[in-house]
Amino acid sequence: MTQELVEKLRELLGNDGVLTAEETAQRSAGFLRADTLQARALARPKTTDEVAAVLRLCSQARCPVVTQGGLTGLVHGADCTPDHLILSLERMNCIEEIDPMQRVAVVQAGVTLQALHDALERHDLAFPLDLGARGSATIGGNVATNAGGNRVIRYGMTRTMVLGVEAVLADGTILSSLNRMIKNNAGYDLKQLFIGSEGTLGVITRVVLRLAERPRSQNVAFVALSGFDAVTGFLKHMDRTLGGTLSAFEVMWREFYELVTTPPAASTPPLPHGSAYYVLVEALGADQEHDAARFINALEAASEAGLIADAVVAGSDRERAAIWAMRDDVMQIARHGWPFTFDVSLPIATMEAYVAGVRGELAARWPDHHCWLFGHLGDGNLHLAVHTGDAADRESVERIVYEPLKAIGGSISAEHGVGLEKKPYLHLSRSPQEIALMRTLKNALDPNGLLNPGKIF
């Protein structure tokens, strides 16, 4: 059975278009993973028509298919088993068009985020999605997981940047919805089905992305605050005062700040340790001189209003990069061994009590634990890293972190998706009616359950 499918795939894609199970097992299973890919085979189509033909073959053979991009996901959303065929979009990595007037890019799903950023620089345009895994993460993966990142407060999630999608359905039907306009209300907006559904409803092959003019000014400050009310007040103040240019509002709880500014971390602390909260605030605009003056005025007003305790404004590109590098040095959380990591969202008004509750439970059970908190506060998005020293504590920690979210309307996944990792907790964020409707959609689009089986619900 497997051999027959592999033979047919070879006929279709050529010898270098198919990796056997043995060849596939040479490849890493992904970012931060020690294991390798276990699958029947790995198919590497070069065109949408080839993807469609692969899916028709798999549909006939009832072979489950796991689509893979850059393997930078964090929730086991692209995991496979020896029964699965891996469909890799790695050879569909062409930026087909950049249109500076319409301000759209048409790209194949396998293009990396970094490659798109590089190409746009030459056109003085920007694709505002940005995240740490940019060098490996693909546009197809970003769209399939509705990736977030640092500038969601200004530009939204990936969903808001996608104008059109070409996807192949489980039966091999090519659905080409490559819309280029910001407004198109001609019937159901089908692309929304594929965005954020983690490869369970179709295989994304091409995407039309909305671009922005490249910002010409960047202002960054790092601020210390003494209480959570000050943090939320400062967010509102900056958003109002900067009039649409606020692009990042990254909060660090004190333990995280100390972690990323003490050796072996490379960063030195731009402000003294000891405050309760620290915020990296950024504005992107069009005129460095005017925007810098406005940015500093906004900070001075925040200081006069008693919102912020201390602040440092980056005075050069080097200083701006240094502050961002400190924020992005999240690998420091592995200092004592790899911790349990979480990506949740919750209403801002509930955040302080939620954090206190989680910390209280952690401290009661593991007096020597570490808990680092940081996140995109403007989006309600909190990242937690918890280290207890024992991998067997995972489920207990998960319950402590996830279970309180149900009562406060929070989400077990802000931006990472569900995959296999969060599937046991989906019921905390979604009602039985919602999960039933997800199943209805899955059954309607993929009645044999062949696309990324077992993920999400």
Span 224-283, contacts to its own copies by CB under 8 A:
232, 236, 239-245
Instruction: Using CB under 8 A, pick the residue from 6, 281, 418, 450 that binds its own copies.
Output: 418
List CB contacts of 270: < 8 A, sequence separation 6 or more. 222, 261, 312, 322, 323, 326
Q: Which residue in this structure is represented by tokens 């068009």?
A: 97
CA 109 to chain centre: 16
Do 158 and 139 contact (CB within 8 A), yes or no?
no
Which ranges of 225-371 does DSSP label H, i.e. alpha helix?
A: 228-241, 254-260, 288-304, 317-328, 348-365
Cβ at position 231, least distance to its own copies in Å: 11
Instruction: Provide, rounded to whole angstroms, the least separation between the CB of residue 411 and its own copies.
Output: 4
| Spatial separation of the C-alpha atoms in residues 456 and 440, rounded to whole Å | 14
Query: Helix 228-241 and helix 288-304: axis angle, to 10°?
Result: 140
8 A C-beta contact, residue 450 and residue 63: yes
Q: Which of 40, 134, 151, 294 binds its own copies (CB under 8 A)?
A: 294
> How are strands ordered across the β-sheet holding 203-210?
95-99, 104-108, 203-210, 162-168, 174-177
Residue showing tokens 């509930």: 350
By CB under 8 A, what part of segment 189-208 binds its own copies? 189-190, 192-193, 195-197, 201
Q: Return the number of the residue (194 or 278) whose C-beta is nearest its own copies.
A: 194
The DSSP string of 260-284 is HTSTTSSPPPSS-TT-SEEEEEEEE
Q: What is the DSSP letter of 414?
A: S
* Cα 324 from Cα 281, distance rounded (Å): 10
The residue assigned the tokens 């790995």 is 42
The label of the residue with tokens 């005062």 reads: 241
| CA distances from residue 108 to 64, 217, 411 in whole angstroms, order as listed | 23, 30, 31
Residue with tokens 């808001």: 160
Q: For its own copies, which residue of 64, 70, 110, 285 counts as binding (CB under 8 A)?
A: 285
> Nearest distance from residue 82's CB to its own copies, in Å?
27
Nearer to its own copies, 156 or 357 (CB): 156
Q: Which of residues 114-143 bind its own copies (CB under 8 A)?
A: 124
CB of 242 to its own copies, least distance (A): 6
Return the residues of window 65-124 that contact its own copies according to CB under 8 A.
Answer: 99-103, 124
Which is closer to its own copies, CB of 160 or CB of 396?
160
Nearest distance from C-beta of residue 187 to its own copies, angstroms: 5
- Minimal distance in Å, beta carbon 125 to its own copies? 10
- Please give the residues from 347 up to 366 whose contact with its own copies meets the rule CB under 8 A: 347-349
Residues 26-65 that bind its own copies (CB under 8 A): none
Q: Which is nearer to its own copies, 233 or 357 (CB)?
A: 233
Cα gap 167→165, rounded to integer Å: 6
Q: List binders of its own copies among 371-390 (CB under 8 A).
A: 376, 378-381
Q: Closer to its own copies at the Cβ: 54 or 414?
A: 414
**Residue in 276, 426, 449, 454 binding its own copies, rule: CB under 8 A:** 426
How many residues at the interface with its own copies, by CB under 8 A? Answer: 100
Q: Does position 394 bind its own copies by CB under 8 A?
A: no
341 binds its own copies (CB under 8 A): no
By CB under 8 A, which span of 22-30, 35-43, 215-223, 361-369 interacts with its own copies? 215-223
Determine the interface stretch with its own copies among 32-40, 304-312, 364-372, 413-421 (rule: CB under 8 A).
413-421
What SS3 class is residue 212?
A: strand
Return the sign of the alpha-carbon dihedral for residues 425, 430, 434, 437.
negative
* Closer residue to its own copies in complex, CB, 79/393: 79
Q: With contact defined as beta carbons under 8 Å apart, do 13 and 50 qualify?
A: yes
Q: Where are the extended beta strands (E) located within 3-128?
A: 18-20, 41-43, 65-68, 85-88, 95-99, 104-108, 125-126
The 3-state DSSP class for residue 46 equals coil
Question: Does 441 contact its own copies by CB under 8 A?
Answer: yes
Stretch that binds its own copies, among 90-98, 211-219, 271-279, 323-331 (CB under 8 A): 211-219
Handedness of CA 431, 437, 441, 446 (dihedral sign): positive
Candidate list 185, 318, 364, 391; residue touching its own copies; CB under 8 A: 185
- Contacts to its own copies from residues 315-334, by CB under 8 A: none
State in angstroms the smallest separation of the CB of 448 from its own copies: 15
Considering only the stretches 17-25, 36-44, 145-153, 391-399, report the one whose residues sit in contact with its own copies under the rule CB under 8 A.
145-153
In terms of CB distance, is 24 or 200 closer to its own copies? 200
